[in-house]
Amino acid sequence: MRTTCLIAGGGPAGVMLALLLARAGIDVTLLEKHADFLRDFRGDTIHPSTLQILDELGLIEEFDKLPHQKVTALSVFDGRSFAKVTGLEHLPTPFPYIAFVPQWDFLDMLVRQARRLPNFRLLMEAEAIGVIREGGAVRGVRYRDARGEHEIRAALTVGADGRRSDIRRSAGLPVKDLGAPIDVVWFRLSRDPGDPADPFLRPGTGDALVSINRGAYWQIAYLIPKDGFAALRAGGIERFRERVGALVPFFAARTERLRSFDDTSVLSVAVNRLTRWHLPGLLCIGDAAHAMSPVGGVGINLAIQDAVATANLIAEPMARAQRNRRPVLDPVPASLLARVRRRRLPPTVLTQFVQVQVQNQIMKRVLAGDVDAAAVSAAVDRMPLLIRRLFARAVGFGPLPEHVSPALR
């Protein structure tokens, strides 16, 4: 099998890049190892930067049809009252909010758009297991499906297969680990009509949680020290329910839904990035290039901006090569792919720096019992208006928001 661009990984980065390149007339094959996109507790936060991209692609009306909640404020809860950290309503955009949408619905929408194009192909239940290397370049991948192992040859292979990327491992790309002192236990609790609408952080003394309004239920991230789930589980589900109820009193009566730790999902937090994102014929983007902390919920949006920047930089020369009938399987040169890393590395580094500071200076100290909810709430109350506005802009747009080039709109 041959294609011009092979993308491994049907997450936000991979699906968005496939759609953009297919729009440019490039033959694209997308591999997704699962039978569908339905996975619980995947990142669901769509920020204004991504909403603007959808608008530029003419997809904002389709997006608005998806079930989602719009959030304009972020708060801290000290057990008695809420302190607003920042609001997004003042952002200079038609979309001054964060949309919480099930990721599988979002990906299905993008795939539906891509399927309309004759040069797009999606292979489900097809897991990329390694790259094909010949003559110092990557020339495609080996993948596994129900019928066995196969090869796809490509001029460009894109690793968009997440933080445990088999593509980057197979290619031997070196990873710089920035450390993460926390892990996250995800679970759901029911939501009552009288509950607050905005997501909130509840720091405790030795523990903390973040609650996200998902309409009929709360999606809750309970923060624990790194590799601390075994100890949490050893304490028993009753003790866990008590800790959640003590943090948020109006959750106490609802924790009976947590019958066992099987009703939770553990995210092992990692913050890292590749020191080299590319080889001749190979590029990594999204979590495969830089695993992000859940701080700020920006992972999806950075991944999508990687995809947009990649398409803006490589679509025209790749499409031109196809039109001129050059040997399609000649690997895309490293000099072109290096431009993607140069473009996307600064916002990645800056975002990860901020995330690491929040992890180490706030979350780690809260979990160690060195900082309590009163101290966090007092710090929020003292925050100047300018800092709140800058924080809102950072959350909404990030340090270097991308826009779709006119040729791809």
**pLDDT in the model for residue 37:** 80
Q: What is the pLDDT of residue 323?
A: 79
Is residue 328 pLDDT above 60, yes or no? no
| pLDDT given for residue 397 in this prediction | 93
* Amino acid 392: pLDDT: 87
Q: What are 34-87's pLDDT values in tens digits?
A: 988 876 556 689 999 999 999 999 999 999 999 998 999 888 898 888 888 888
Torsion of CA 359, 363, 368, 370, to 10 degrees: 110
176-189 residue pLDDT tens: 999 999 999 999 99
One-character DSSP codes across 372-405: -HHHHHHHHHT--HHHHHHHHHHHHH-SS-----
List strands edge to edge, sheet with 73-77.
82-87, 73-77, 200-203, 208-213, 217-225, 182-190, 265-267
Residue (of 291, 266, 352) closest to 11 by Cα position: 291
Domain spans, the chain: 2-178+270-408, 182-225+228-267
Question: For the residues 212-227, what does the mean pLDDT come to?
Answer: 92
pLDDT at 361: 86
The answer on pLDDT for 318 being more than 60 is yes
2-178+270-408 under CATH 3.40.50.1260, yes or no:
no
Residue range 246-277, pLDDT digits in tens: 999 999 999 998 999 999 999 999 999 999 99
pLDDT, mean of residues 365-385: 81
For residue 12, what pLDDT band results from cuts at 50, 70 and 90?
very high
Among 7-21, 285-299, 317-331, name the most confident range.
7-21
DSSP 93-119: SS--SEEE--HHHHHHHHHHHHHTSTT
Contacts (Cβ under 8 Å, ≥6 apart) of 101: 44, 46, 63, 66, 67, 68
358 or 303, higher pLDDT? 303
More confident residue, 360 or 284: 284
Phi/psi region, residue 122 (left: phi>0; alpha: psi -120 to 50; beta: rest), is beta
Work out whether the CA dihedral 81, 76, 41, 100 comes out positive or negative. Answer: positive
| Residue-by-residue DSSP string for 275-305 | S--EETTEEE-GGGTEE--SGGG-HHHHHHH
pLDDT tens per residue across span 126-176: 999 999 999 899 999 999 999 999 999 999 999 999 999 999 999 999 999
Identify the top-confidence range among 51-65, 314-328, 378-392: 51-65
SS3 91: coil
- pLDDT at position 327 over 70: no
